[in-house]
Amino acid sequence: MTFRFIRIVFIIVFLLGIFQLWAQFGKITEIKSSGSKIIDYQEVGLYSGKGNLLAIQPYLYPSDYANEATFYTKLSGYLIQAKSKGLLNKKTIVVFPEYTGTWLVACDEKASVYTTPSVAKAMEMVILTHPFTFFRNFIVAPVADKAKYAVFRMKGAEMASIYERVFSKMAKEFKITIVAGSIVLPEPSISKDGHLQAGKGNLYNITGVFGPTGKIMKPLVVKAFPINEEKHFTSSGKVEDSPVFQTSAGRLGVLICADSWYPAAYKALQNKHAEIIAIPSFSASENSWATKWKGYNGAATPTDVDKTDIGKITEADAWLKYSMGGHAAKSGITKGINVFLRGQLWDLGSDGSTIYMEQDSVAKKSKIIEGASLINLWL
């Protein structure tokens, strides 16, 4: 072994050591929760002893995903307030929005990830902190957006574990059923011993439903109709596999966001005798609900849609007409709730308000607010 070779090895080891120090330096070990203040609270219907659908519209910030503790503290804070209002009982079904768990991809990273204003720059920092793992996943990415795929695949196991622990703990602690928003994971599944696990294949946008014992219920809900922006990195589930869960409040169907716009999804729920429905959703960009509706995104427009509405009605009116309100009652579903993710998550933007459906089958929406809300629908 020559002296020159030894020197090169020494330099490489030294540089790797410097990199490891940089990667660990600046990571947040302790951070306070941004708080779980409720801005709006509304009750629909009257208590009958049959249970309730409780939509929690959180208002989230990047720092809420800094670590498992901040994530749990933020979300459980809303449940503490719901309990104080008498809204939690053994027949309560709590519904969180789409993507609530997805931003766990930023968990346990450098402080700059949570302070940069751009989600692209935040993800660049995540990549720079894990370059070798990122590269290994990037070169095997089976999708167009290889970078996004690689980030979610390399963080998938950690994300799945935190997601399960947090929602399992809350369901068990408050003795309720939780529709845990959604999370993007590689080839997710429930193991033989009943735990959520991430695999090594395609990415899917999934929802876990947790029972009052804290156990995740089989099967996972998989988004069947991803929109165009999601198709670059996530895969589609089978609409006929849309599950219905037996809960103490009735037979619960769950559809993730855009799935609630398609008759085939409701047909699947009807075949499995769903009685109530929960829809976790996310509308990107600020004030998008006030803009003119651009039509269906990601799949063919169903034949029962009035195409003259495209470019004529608002996005908000389209949600009321063509989502749960236009399909659920025809499928034998009597009540439902649709909750949207809000917050200041980098530069993503968000809009929307909770939509609920009572016995009269008319979908109604709560007022749009810049903050967190609780909308409770008594069954």
Residue 15 lies in a domain: no
Residue 17 lies in a domain: no
Residue 34 lies in a domain: no
Query: pTM for this structure?
Result: 0.91
Residue 60 lies in a domain: yes
- Amino acid 18: pLDDT: 40
pLDDT in tens, 329-379: 888 898 999 999 999 999 999 999 999 998 766 777 777 888 899 999 999
Which residue range is the domain that position 347 belongs to?
40-378
Q: What's the Cα-to-Cα distance from 61 to each of 165, 232, 264, rounded to whole Å?
A: 20, 25, 35
Pairing of strands 59-60, 342-343: parallel
Residue 144 lies in a domain: yes
Residue 22 lies in a domain: no
pLDDT in tens, 166-195: 999 999 999 999 999 999 999 999 999 999
Q: How many domains does the chain have?
A: 1
Residue 314 lies in a domain: yes
Residue of 32 and 44 predicted with greater confidence: 44
- Is residue 2 scored above 70 in pLDDT? no
Residues 222 and 214 sit within 8 Å (Cβ to Cβ): no
- Amino acid 359: pLDDT: 73
What percentage of the chain has pLDDT greater than the value 90?
71
pLDDT in tens, 35-64: 778 888 899 988 899 999 999 999 999 999
Pairing of strands 216-222, 244-247: unpaired
Mean pLDDT, range 212-220, rounded to an integer: 96
- Is residue 327 scored above 90 in pLDDT? no
Q: What's the Cα-to-Cα distance from 113 to each of 36, 106, 150, 296, 365, rounded to whole Å?
A: 22, 7, 17, 33, 34
**Domain of 51: which CATH number?**
3.60.110.10
Residue 3 lies in a domain: no
Structure tokens at 154: 């390399």
- The runs of H, that is alpha helices, within the chain are 3-24, 68-84, 112-115, 119-129, 131-138, 146-174, 228-231, 263-271, 315-322, 324-327
Q: What's the Cα-to-Cα distance from 224 to each of 141, 205, 352, rounded to whole Å?
A: 21, 9, 22
